[in-house]
Amino acid sequence: MSRTFAARTHVGQARRVNQDRVEADPDGRYFMVADGMGGHAGGEQASSLATTVAREYLEAHFEEEWDTKTFLQNAMKAVNRRLREDQRAHPERSNMGTTLTVVIRRENQWWYAHVGDSRAYRWRDGHIEQLTPDHTWIADQMRAGTIAEDTNLKQWLGHVLSQHMGQETLERIEIAPISVQEEDRLLLCSDGLTAELSDEEIATYLTRKYTCEEAVNALISAANANSGSDNIAIIVIDNH
Ligand code: CA
């Protein structure tokens, strides 16, 4: 029987430690990807603490009367508070941080909440569209128009984050509704996938002839077959 979503991480071919985390509600209400950073212990701690706190928060408050934007804002702030507390209690990981991309389905509407450079995409009719803005220095400059899209700075600075969970102040917690049609799929992933495969390549693995689980496994294999130079986190969700 095909499931309506699948979630998996893989350490990749080059790293010894997997600092990526995925979390999926068995009931299909929420999904998340986190990509930790900040040294050996810090990165793992940051991404697993972020997904744990986010899951607990969403579970505890899913049925509250809050509007969804407030609900997601509160969840992201709760995660950031816990990361800051953990940094203060453990100075050896004071520089830890993580990306966090959360997608939820609440009252029949999909939403994302996002900080960092992990991504949510919508697959439709053979193409994917990136929904979440990257919080990287390069992407910020391109949005501001100060550097061009085809800059070769990408090679050197592509992974420098302008914002991540665990910072003292979060300037922008991106929260928005996602418009979804019946046959669409959603993809959440860390940069271990998007650094290896182009959007066009990724889209070919999301065609509905594959189950969510087959798509996740095929994407992980493809990323590893390229260079697998980073940890890989992937969630594929069917909208029905
Ligand atoms: Ca990564």
| Centre of ligand 1 from the C-alpha of residue 14, in Å | 12
How far apart CA 202 and CA 223 sit, in angstroms, is 10
Residue 75 backbone dihedrals phi, psi, to 5 degrees: -65, -45
Q: If residue 75 lies in a helix (H) or strand (E), which one and from where to where?
A: helix 68-89
β-sheet bridge partners, residue 187: 121, 236
Residue 46 CA to ligand 1 centre (angstroms): 13
Lowest mean pLDDT of 44-53, 153-162, 216-225, name the range: 153-162
CA of 133 to the centre of ligand 1 (A): 16
Region at 12 (left for phi over 0; alpha for psi -120 to 50; beta for the rest): left
* Distance from residue 209's CA to the centre of ligand 1 (Å): 29
The residue written with tokens 């697959």 in the block is 123
Quick check: 234 and 23 in contact, CB under 8 A? no
pLDDT grade for 159, boundaries at 50, 70 and 90? confident
**pLDDT tens figures, 68-121:** 999 999 999 999 999 999 999 999 999 999 999 999 999 999 999 999 999 999
**The model's pTM:** 0.95
With left for phi above 0 and alpha for psi between -120 and 50, is residue 139 left, alpha or beta? Answer: alpha
Q: How far away, in angstroms, is 11 Cα from ligand 1 center?
A: 10
**Cβ pair 104, 110 in contact under 8 A:** yes
**CB 179: neighbour CB atoms within 10 A?**
10
Q: How far is the CA of 67 from the centre of ligand 1 (A)?
A: 32
Instruction: Please give the distance, rounded to the nearest whole angstrom, from the Cα atom of residue 164 to the centre of ligand 1.
Output: 12
pLDDT > 70: percent of the chain: 99
Q: Please report how the helices 39-61 and 68-89 are oriented relative to each other, as an axis angle in degrees rounded to 10.
A: 140
Distance (Å, whole) CA 175 – CA 167: 18
Q: For tokens 């453990």, what's the residue?
A: 90
- 39 Rama class: left (phi>0) / alpha (psi -120 to 50) / beta: left
Domains of the chain (ranges; CATH) run: 3-239 (3.60.40.10)
Q: Three-class SS of residue 78?
A: helix
Q: Cα(189) to centroid of ligand 1, in Å?
A: 10
Quickly state the pLDDT bin for 29 (edges 50, 70, 90).
very high
- Residue 178 φ then ψ, to 5°: -115, 125
